[in-house]
Amino acid sequence: MSPIDVAVVALLGGILGLDTVGFPQAMLSRPIVAATLGGALVGSAEQGLLVGAALELFAIETLPFGASRYPEWGSSSVVGGALLASRPEGEPGSLTFSVLVALVVAWAGGWSMMQLRRFNARRARRRLESLAAGNRRAVMELQLGGLTADLLRGFVLTAVAVSAAFPLQQAVLQQWSLGAPVSRAVVVGVAAGVALGATFKLFHNVPGFAWQFMVGLAAGVLALLAV
Amino acid sequence: MNERKDVPLRVRLAMLLRLLAVQGSWNYETMVGTGIGFCLEPALRLLPGGARGERYRNALARECEYFNAHPYLCAVAVGALARAELDGEPRERIERFRTALCGPLGALGDRLVWASFLPLSSVAALLAFGLGAGPVVVTLTFLALYNFGHMALRIWGLETGLRRGLSVAQALAAPALQRAPMRLGQLAAALAGMALPLALHRLIGPGRALLGVVLLAVLAAGFALARLRGRVEGWKAAVLVLTGFVLLGVLA
C-alpha cells in the first residue's frame, strides 16, 4: 500500500472511530458497515462485507455501557475489510487473518479510548475555573478538542494497524499450509459460537426466549433448505 | 416563576445537532457533564440578558457539572433542563432534578438501546446477509433500521423534555416505554435464531464440507460461553483460538 492509500484508509478509520462514541453514534462503526466501507475503499465491497459479517457475529456481545471498556469496532473493522479486500477471493487463510487482525485492533482501540477519556479529564480539570464561571469558550474548546482528539485517535490507530498488517499478511499467507475449507470453517465456527453465546447472554431473561429462538431457528433452517 | 418561553425551531434544531456530539468530551470525572452544557447552550442564550448575561453564565456553569446517562436519552435531560432554566425554576430544584435524572435515563437507555435495539438491528442485517443480499442492501438494512429508532428516540426525548420540564419522569414511566426492551428482546431472539444458520451458511463458503463438525463446535462454544455468563468475553477467547490457528496454519 502506498502512503496515500494508507492515509485514505486511515481517514475512513478515523471517521468511523469517531462515530463509536464521539459523533454521531449512528453505528456507522458497526463491523457490518465499517468493514464493508473499508473493503469498498480498497476495491471489493463484497469481500469487506464478508469480513464485516464475521466480525458482526463477535460484536453482538459488545454492550457499550458508559465507563466500561469495550472493543472499538469502527477503526478495526475498516482495517479488517481493507485487508481481505486486497487479497484474491477464496484465498486460504485470508479471512482468518483479517478477522484476527481486526479483533486485535479492536482491543487496541478499546485501550486507546480509555486513554482519550483520561486525556479529556485532564483538559477538563485545567478548565474547571472557567467552567464554574460559565465560560462558553471553555465549553466549546473542551467539546471540539475532544472530538478532534477522537478523530486523530482513530486515524493514527488505523494508519499504524494498516502499515503493520499488510506486510505481515503477505508473509503469513505465503506460508499458509492449510486448505480453504478448514481455514474458513474454523473462523466462521468460532464467530458463530460467540454469537450464539451472546444471544443467550443478552436475551435469556426475556420471557419466552427459548421458544422465540427455536421458532426463529426453525424458520432459518427451513429458509436454508429452500435456498 | 417567569412566563413559559417558546423555544424557536432553529434553537431546537441546534440542540438536536449538538446532541449528536453530546459525548464529545466524555471523561471519567464529569462524564457527559460538559456535553450537556454544550447541548443546552443555544437555549440558554434565550435567557434574559442573552449570552452575556449573568443568568446565562450561572446556568451554563450549573449544566456543565457531572452528569451521566445514556447518550441518546440525554436528549430528555437536555430538553427538560432547558425548560426548567427558561421557566426560571430555583437553582436547588434544578440541581436536585439533574441528579435524580441520571439513574433512570442510564438504566432505561442501556436496556432499550444497547441490550435490545442494537442487537436487533445487528441480527436483522445478518439475516439480510444470510439471505444473500449484497453490500448495499445489507448496510442500508442496518443503518436505516437502527437510525430510524435512534433519531426518533433523540427527537422524542428533546421534544418531551421541552414540553414537560421537571415533570418529565411521567413520560419515562409510560408502560409502552418500559415494556419496549422486552418486546424488542423477543423479536431479536427470534431474528437471531433465523439469522445465525443463514449467515453461517453463507460465510462458511468452501468450508461447507465440514458443516456438521462446525455446527457441533458452534453449539459447544455457545453453550460454554452461555454457562460462563460474562466471566469470559467471547471475542477475547476468540483472539486466543484464532492466534493458535494462524500459528498452526503457518508452521504446520
Determine whether the interchain pair A227/B132 forms a contact, defined as Cβ–Cβ distance below 8 Å. Answer: yes
pLDDT band at B227 (very low <50, low <70, confident <90, very high): confident
The answer to whether residue A222 neighbours chain B at the CB level (below 8 Å) is no
Q: Residue B225's closest chain A neighbor by CA?
A: A197
**Average pLDDT of span A109-134:** 97
B234 neighbourhood in chain A, CB within 8 Å = 58, 61, 193-194, 197-198
pLDDT band at B226 (very low <50, low <70, confident <90, very high): confident
Q: Taking 60 as the threshold, does the pLDDT of residue B19 lie above it?
A: yes
Contact between residue A21 and residue A66 where contact means Cβ atoms under 8 Å apart:
no
**Average pLDDT of span A212-226:** 93
The answer to whether residue A38 neighbours chain B at the CB level (below 8 Å) is no
**Average pLDDT of span B36-61:** 97
B34 neighbourhood in chain A, CB within 8 Å = 124, 131, 139, 142-143
pLDDT band at B3 (very low <50, low <70, confident <90, very high): low
DSSP for residue B168: T
Q: Taking 80 as the threshold, does the pLDDT of residue B4 lie above it?
A: no
A189 neighbourhood in chain B, CB within 8 Å = 214, 217-218, 221
A221 neighbourhood in chain B, CB within 8 Å = 197
A175 neighbourhood in chain B, CB within 8 Å = 249-251
**Average pLDDT of span A86-105:** 97
Contact between residue B130 and residue B202 where contact means Cβ atoms under 8 Å apart:
yes
Identify the pLDDT of residue B2: 53
Cβ-count burial B60-80 (b if 16+ within 10 Å, e if not)? bbbbbbebbbbbbbbbbbbbb
Assess: ipTM above 0.90: yes
Name the pTM for this structure: 0.96
Q: Residue A36's closest chain B neighbor by CA?
A: B135
- Mean of the per-residue pLDDT values for chain A? 96
Say what percent of chain A tops pLDDT 90.
94
**Average pLDDT of span B51-67:** 97
Alpha helices, DSSP H, located in chain B: 9-19, 33-44, 54-63, 74-86, 91-109, 118-130, 135-164, 169-172, 175-204, 211-228, 234-251
Contact between residue A101 and residue A161 where contact means Cβ atoms under 8 Å apart:
yes
Identify the pLDDT of residue B206: 86
How far is residue B232's CA from residue B241's CA, in Å, rounded to a whole number?
13
**Average pLDDT of span B147-164:** 97
Partner residue opposite A142 with nearest CB, options B34, B60, B142: B34
**Average pLDDT of span A28-33:** 98
**Average pLDDT of span A165-186:** 97
DSSP reduced 3-state for B239: helix
Identify the pLDDT of residue B122: 98
| Shortest alpha-carbon distance between residue A197 and chain B (Å) | 4
**Average pLDDT of span A134-160:** 98
Q: Taking 80 as the threshold, does the pLDDT of residue B154 lie above it?
A: yes
Identify the pLDDT of residue B231: 81
Top residue of A18, A72, A170, A203 to mutate, by most chain B CBs within 10 Å, is: A203
Alpha helices, DSSP H, located in B6-117: 9-19, 33-44, 54-63, 74-86, 91-109
C-alpha cell at A133: 464561571
DSSP A15-78: HHHHHHHTS--SSTTSHHHHHHHHHHHHT-HHHHHHHHHHHHHHHTT----TTS----HHHHHH
Partner residue opposite B71 with nearest CB, options A25, A125, A220: A25
The answer to whether residue B122 neighbours chain A at the CB level (below 8 Å) is yes
**Average pLDDT of span B145-163:** 98
- Mean of the per-residue pLDDT values for chain B? 94
**pLDDT tens sequence across B165-176:** 999 999 999 999
Determine whether the interchain pair B138/A46 forms a contact, defined as Cβ–Cβ distance below 8 Å. Answer: no
Determine whether the interchain pair B235/A194 forms a contact, defined as Cβ–Cβ distance below 8 Å. Answer: yes
DSSP for residue B167: G
Q: Residue A73's closest chain B neighbor by CA?
A: B235
Determine whether the interchain pair B242/A181 forms a contact, defined as Cβ–Cβ distance below 8 Å. Answer: no
Q: Considering only residues 36 to 75 of chain B, which have any Cβ-Cβ distance to chain A shorter than 8 Å?
A: 37-38, 41, 51, 56-61, 64, 68, 70-72
Determine whether the interchain pair B21/A100 forms a contact, defined as Cβ–Cβ distance below 8 Å. Answer: no
Q: Taking 60 as the threshold, does the pLDDT of residue B196 lie above it?
A: yes
